[in-house]
């Protein structure tokens, strides 16, 4: 199967990054979201990143124009009918993702592969919303997408070998390094990462240290590029909470119980960088 037109559902932080790397690899891209302002914001973000690449001499102005010329914006899901491969990068909310896949299953050609960028929701659950479970797969990019090299490729129970190979090869085409994960809640990355972040929140909750102290220990003591609370703010505390809830529900194990302080911050609207306040304040 040859992928020529690549669809992305969601033009937010993850979605526009996925659209950018797909367009830079030479594919025609359809970037879809529910509002015109969302897709324009996503396109502006891509344009800004490419402009910086031109300034740094990493690409020419002509190459930038060519990449942008391969990206079509859309606010109508029906436009995805033209795609050979679609990645859903909507919010980490199970009912929303289920509805998107139900709609895509009706809109897209039976040959189209439907992938999810979900951080934690089992692919089998998502695939069950369609009549093509063999063509549903997890393609989990890391944030920020243009910079991070990893793509987790998650096979559902029914995912075909062809679907897996196309996804694996696409990851390499995008300049990424794919890693295969079995279909468990959280997969590999977030099954390990999120409990660490959650434990850092517990350390703050119990008064073990300030956010600055907790992050400094992990940066200087464990050589992490950023502390867990800074990383949580970057990811979004609502996303962190949603992933922890998926782990807790999926494994029925108290070690995955979300910290009450994390839940309290989310309920207060303190979501991290995107809201201006999380464990730190942002201007």
Q: Which residues pair with 180 in a beta bridge?
A: 153
| H helix or E strand, kind and range, residue 71 | strand 71-74
Query: How far is residue 102 from each of residues 3, 23, 65, 109, 154, measured CA to CA in Å?
Result: 22, 26, 35, 13, 20
pLDDT at 1 over 90: no
The C-alpha atoms of residue 114 and residue 229 are separated, in whole angstroms, by 33
Region 176-195: mean pLDDT is 97
Does 14 appear as a known binding residue? yes
Closest to 122 (Cα-Cα) out of 141, 94, 80? 94
The three-class DSSP label of residue 207 is coil
At 19-68, the pLDDT tens digits run: 999 999 999 999 999 999 999 999 999 999 999 999 999 999 999 999 99
Closest to 181 (Cα-Cα) out of 217, 223, 139? 139
The C-alpha atoms of residue 44 and residue 17 are separated, in whole angstroms, by 11
Does 182 appear as a known binding residue? no
The three-class DSSP label of residue 104 is helix
Does 24 appear as a known binding residue? no
Active site residues: 119, 140, 152, 190
Does 222 appear as a known binding residue? no
Tokens of 268: 């207060």
pLDDT at 283 over 90: no
What does the mean pLDDT of the chain come to?
Answer: 97
Handedness of CA 46, 3, 149, 274 (dihedral sign): positive
Q: What is the pLDDT of residue 28?
A: 98
**β 28-32/71-74 pair status:** parallel
Using CA atoms in the order 157, 122, 153, 201, what is the torsion angle rounded to 10 degrees? Answer: -150
At 198-242, the pLDDT tens digits run: 999 999 999 999 999 999 999 999 999 999 999 999 999 999 999
| H helix or E strand, kind and range, residue 114 | strand 113-116
The C-alpha atoms of residue 136 and residue 117 are separated, in whole angstroms, by 11
141 φ/ψ angles, rounded to the nearest 5 degrees: -85, 160
At 6-22, the pLDDT tens digits run: 999 999 999 999 999 99
At 126-138, the pLDDT tens digits run: 999 999 999 999 9
The three-class DSSP label of residue 136 is strand
How crowded is residue 251: how many other Cβ atoms within 10 Å of its Cβ?
Answer: 14
- Position 276 confidence tier, pLDDT thresholds 50, 70, 90: very high
Q: What is the pLDDT of residue 280?
A: 98
Does 102 appear as a known binding residue? no
């Amino acid at each position: 199967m040859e992928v020529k037109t690549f669809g992305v559902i969601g033009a937010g932080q993850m979605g526009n990054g996925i659209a950018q790397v797909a367009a830079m690899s030479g594919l025609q891209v359809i970037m879809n979201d529910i509002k015109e302002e969302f897709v324009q914001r996503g396109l502006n973000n891509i344009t800004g990143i490419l402009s910086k690449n031109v300034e740094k001499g990493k690409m020419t102005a002509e190459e930038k124009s060519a990449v942008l010329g391969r990206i079509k914006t859309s606010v109508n899901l029906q436009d995805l009918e033209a795609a050979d491969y679609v990645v859903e990068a909507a919010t980490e909310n199970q009912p929303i993702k289920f509805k998107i896949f139900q709609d895509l299953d009706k809109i897209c050609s039976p040959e189209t592969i439907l992938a999810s960028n979900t951080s934690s929701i089992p692919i089998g659950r998502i695939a069950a919303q369609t009549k093509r479970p063999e063509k549903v797969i997890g393609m989990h990019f890391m944030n920020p997408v243009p910079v991070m090299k990893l793509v987790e490729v998650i096979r559902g129970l029914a995912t075909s070998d062809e679907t897996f190979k196309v996804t694996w090869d696409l990851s390499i085409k995008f300049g990424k390094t794919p890693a295969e994960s079995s279909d468990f809640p959280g997969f590999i990355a977030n099954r390990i990462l999120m409990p660490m972040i959650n434990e850092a929140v517990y350390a703050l909750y119990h008064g073990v240290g300030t956010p600055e102290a907790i992050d400094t220990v992990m940066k200087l003591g464990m050589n992490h590029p950023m502390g867990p609370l800074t990383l949580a703010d970057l990811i979004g505390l609502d996303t962190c909470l949603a992933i922890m809830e998926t782990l807790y529900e999926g494994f029925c194990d108290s070690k995955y119980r979300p910290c009450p302080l994390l839940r309290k911050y989310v309920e207060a609207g303190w979501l991290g960088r995107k809201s201006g306040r999380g464990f730190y304040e942002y201007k």
